[in-house]
Chains A and B, each alone.
Chain A
Amino acid sequence: MAELGRAALIVSLGLALYAALAGFWAARTRKRRLADSAGNALLAALGATAVAAAVLLSALIRHDFSFTYVADHTSTELPLGYSVSAFWGGQEGSLLLWLLVLTGYGAAAVLLNRRRAPDLVAWTVPVLAGIASFFAFLLVAVASPFATQNAPAQGAGLNPSLQNPYMLAHPPLLYLGYVGLTVPFAFGMGALLAGRTDERWIVATRRWTLFAWTALGVGQLLGAHWAYVEVGWGGYYAWDPVENAALMPWLAATAFLHSVMIQEKRGMLKVWNMLLVILAFGLSLFGTFLTRSGVVNSIHSFTQSSIGPWFLGFICAVVAFALALVFWRLPLLRSKTRLESLVSREATFLYNNLLLVALCLTILWGVAFPILSELVKGESRTVGRPYYDFFLRTFGLPLLLLMGIGPLVAWRRASLRALRRTFVWPAGVAVAVGILLLALGAGSSAPGLIAYTFSAFVLASVTLEFVRGTRAAGSFTQLVSRNRRRYGGYVVHAAIVLLAVGIAGSSAYGSSSERRLTPGQTMKVGRYTLAYRSVAQRRGPNDLEVRAAVDVYRGRTLIGHVHPGKNTYFAEQQVSNEMAIRTDWLRAEDLDVITDQIDPNGTIYFKALVKPLVNFIWLAGVVFLFGSVVALWPDAREQRRLVSRYALPTPAEA
């Protein structure tokens, strides 16, 4: 079976190389049948990769330990779901998943666009195929999932910390996001190669980008939730390089999503958009390089792997090629329109882009700092949390404010008088909220108060936009169905506001307390009192579970019980921290209780945290998804208009 997998990957590599080389030749010499053949090769590469994936999947499910990969990542007792998730739990398997998603996206992009824009697709195919060739090469020659061995009796099993439902959703979603950014990149490069000056490539990839961006965003939130619930330190984001690896391309893609709207409406920012798409794609490759290569110290990964240099070389080659392409086609990218006013919706998009890219680059600097300082000073230095927090506040808070200003400002040029009128309501609401919060004690954290006030401003501004729009359009459904992208976008903005409020609340207004308690003693945290009652042990199927019984009081009233503790896994000889979370839905706040240390005599060192509004973060994920779906929803009228704009007469008609 392993031979079939290996053969399938070799076939896939061959097809990708053919698609890249023949596709390039066909585009250059304008040969239609060869171009079609190259496109078909990309489709066939999907098929071959799927076969390889099926082989690995079946081996994982069957626990076929003659596959080294299967033996390294599963065991006979591993439940089916986790055996499947082991597919992406290791280096080789996750590379195969990447290639599968890439060829999948590539095939779909080719199929949907080859008849409508054959010259654009003719150049896009070699770009996509070139990238696929790299990954196929890695899988064939550097990190094969199909290495075999004499099958041992038992496999190494999956790390217990990875055995939870998040493992089934978080990595695949991230991959759908990372890999998805390849599509707009390839089409952008294809447009440059084809010498096209129109917006076809943007129109063709708009929904792909939105989809990939959504997957990347939701994937990250799932990861944060995973960290919060399972890892048990009471936090959800540690500015770890591996976490930043997903955040950076997401920020670049956010900037790109906004600035392409400007290009569509005004024909401006063509060069900027090319650079942004290169940045987003480059960062997605860089992100996966960071995660795999062990080049940066992270609490997540820690490999000494040979794959790093390959990735680095590939990233440099791709970025150099892309930048050279942009430089070569610079004359074509000159726009004829100018920004008319610094107070216009276009301008706010421009400011938003600058802030997003600034934040993205400062995070990149923080991530690369250890590597750079090692090269320059001979010793590696890391920037700490304060660095990231500072820049998140410096760039993030103005971004939040901009989300509220945008809807109030007209396109092209805003009348200052009209602006003052439309500004009054949301500003008034924000000030009122600010004063109220100040009275309630939110002044203890200036950034927190600012975040809350700005959030109120944004929500008021967006609500006003919906209200005024409904009045102008006649009905709510009319309003939204006529401009799904914009109103879906506003819902997404509301989600970001929820995110900001959740982050501000849980980080700026929380409380924490730690104490060593014997059974019967109590401790206070925030408005809660915790009474430690007893501790008990239980034997699970593969672990020993110790749980403390703690009563939770608010004032004098008993409001619940929590059972924090630890699990000790025999086979892996690992201890996992089982933090207890008590969610107060009404107040949207969490009480987290951690048993830091459990002594044999029953004395426990407890750590308790109160996290106000933390559940808004998870709620934000749901709203974000909803908003994206609205924005993604197909619009029949828009489709018809685009088809008529770009309809190319077939050779027979000409």
Chain B
Amino acid sequence: MQRRGNPARLVIALSVATVLAIFLLYTSIAAQGTPSLQPSQLPGHHGRVTLGGKVVGPVAGNAHDTPLRFRLRDRNGTVTVPVSYRGTVPDMFKVDREVAVDGALVNGVFVAKANTLVTKCPSKYTTKKS
């Protein structure tokens, strides 16, 4: 009896190769992911990044007619950077809350992309209530 090659193996191999090819093509052509940085890590980054940190007042503007202006501080540090943002402001946004926003550093001010401001929900799993 002749032993035929198992078509299943060929199919699996081809499919895995196809998937890998699609994946590699996508990740090489499209963005390589956006860096998530704290203010102290900003200098030197020129492209679009996600800036995270704690909100430092004073907060001015209403984010629609006038840009929302505030400063962001390192989570565990003192370096701050001024931020200018337009778009939806989450309800939980306030001074001392941790937030993240996309954008780029332009002339010393972090100019944010519209509607990218997110706040972190107070965690359910901390040992102490924040």
Whether the pair B50, A382 counts as a contact (CB closer than 8 A) is yes
Whether the pair A292, B19 counts as a contact (CB closer than 8 A) is no
Whether the pair A350, B33 counts as a contact (CB closer than 8 A) is no
Whether the pair A301, B37 counts as a contact (CB closer than 8 A) is no
Chain A 505-521, CB within 8 Å of chain B: the 1/0 string?
00000000000100000
Whether the pair A597, B121 counts as a contact (CB closer than 8 A) is no
Checking A72, A347, A391 against B11 with a beta-carbon cut-off of 8 angstroms, the contacting residue is A347
A575: chain B residues within 8 A (beta carbon): 91-92
Whether the pair B36, A301 counts as a contact (CB closer than 8 A) is no
Instruction: Say whether, besides A72-B129, A302-B121, A305-B126, A342 and B11 are in contact (CB < 8 Å).
Output: yes
Whether the pair B98, A302 counts as a contact (CB closer than 8 A) is yes
Chain A 573-606, CB within 8 Å of chain B: the 1/0 string?
0111100000000000000000011010000010
- The stretch from A248-256, A373-381, A532-540 touching chain B is A373-381
Checking B52, B88, B120, B128 against A72 with a beta-carbon cut-off of 8 angstroms, the contacting residue is B128
A380: chain B residues within 8 A (beta carbon): 35-36
Q: How many chain-A residues does the 8 Å CB contact rule pick out?
A: 59
A91: chain B residues within 8 A (beta carbon): 124-127
Answer whether residue B107 sits at the interface, using C-beta atoms and an 8 A cutoff. no
Checking A303, A347, A370 against B123 with a beta-carbon cut-off of 8 angstroms, the contacting residue is A303
Answer whether residue A369 sits at the interface, using C-beta atoms and an 8 A cutoff. yes
Checking A161, A268, A358, A381 against B35 with a beta-carbon cut-off of 8 angstroms, the contacting residue is A381
Which positions 1-30 of chain B face chain A at CB distance < 8 Å? Answer: 4, 6-8, 11-12, 15-16, 19, 22-23, 26, 30
Answer whether residue B56 sits at the interface, using C-beta atoms and an 8 A cutoff. no
How close is B79's CB to chain A, nearest CB, in angstroms? Answer: 16
Chain B contact residues (Cβ within 8 angstroms of A): what range?
35 or more
How close is B104's CB to chain A, nearest CB, in angstroms? Answer: 15
Bound: A291/B64 CA distance, A? 34
Whether the pair B15, A597 counts as a contact (CB closer than 8 A) is no
Answer whether residue A354 sits at the interface, using C-beta atoms and an 8 A cutoff. yes
Checking A268, A341, A387 against B30 with a beta-carbon cut-off of 8 angstroms, the contacting residue is A387
Whether the pair B30, A576 counts as a contact (CB closer than 8 A) is no
How close is A237's CB to chain B, nearest CB, in angstroms? Answer: 15
Bound: A292/B125 CA distance, A? 7
B65: chain A residues within 8 A (beta carbon): 516
Bound: A599/B61 CA distance, A? 12
A301: chain B residues within 8 A (beta carbon): 121, 123-125
Whether the pair A379, B35 counts as a contact (CB closer than 8 A) is yes
How close is B43's CB to chain A, nearest CB, in angstroms? Answer: 13
Bound: A394/B27 CA distance, A? 14
Which positions 38-84 of chain B face chain A at CB distance < 8 Å? Answer: 41, 50, 52, 62-65
Instruction: Say whether, besides A72-B129, A292-B125, A350 and B11 are in contact (CB < 8 Å).
Output: yes
* Cross-chain pairs A/B with CB under 8 angstroms, 27 sampled: A72-B128, A91-B124, A91-B126, A292-B125, A294-B123, A300-B121, A301-B121, A301-B123, A302-B122, A302-B126, A303-B123, A338-B7, A338-B8, A339-B6, A339-B8, A342-B7, A351-B11, A354-B16, A358-B15, A370-B36, A379-B41, A382-B34, A382-B36, A383-B34, A386-B31, A390-B30, A566-B91
Q: Which residues of B contact A (CB under 8 A)?
A: 4, 6-8, 11-12, 15-16, 19, 22-23, 26, 30-37, 41, 50, 52, 62-65, 88-89, 91-92, 98, 100, 118-129
Q: Given known contacts A297-B120, A302-B120, A607-B88, what 20 new A-B pairs fall within 8 Å (CB)?
A: A292-B125, A294-B123, A297-B52, A298-B120, A299-B120, A302-B122, A303-B125, A338-B6, A350-B12, A351-B11, A351-B15, A354-B19, A362-B23, A370-B36, A386-B31, A391-B23, A566-B91, A574-B92, A576-B91, A596-B89
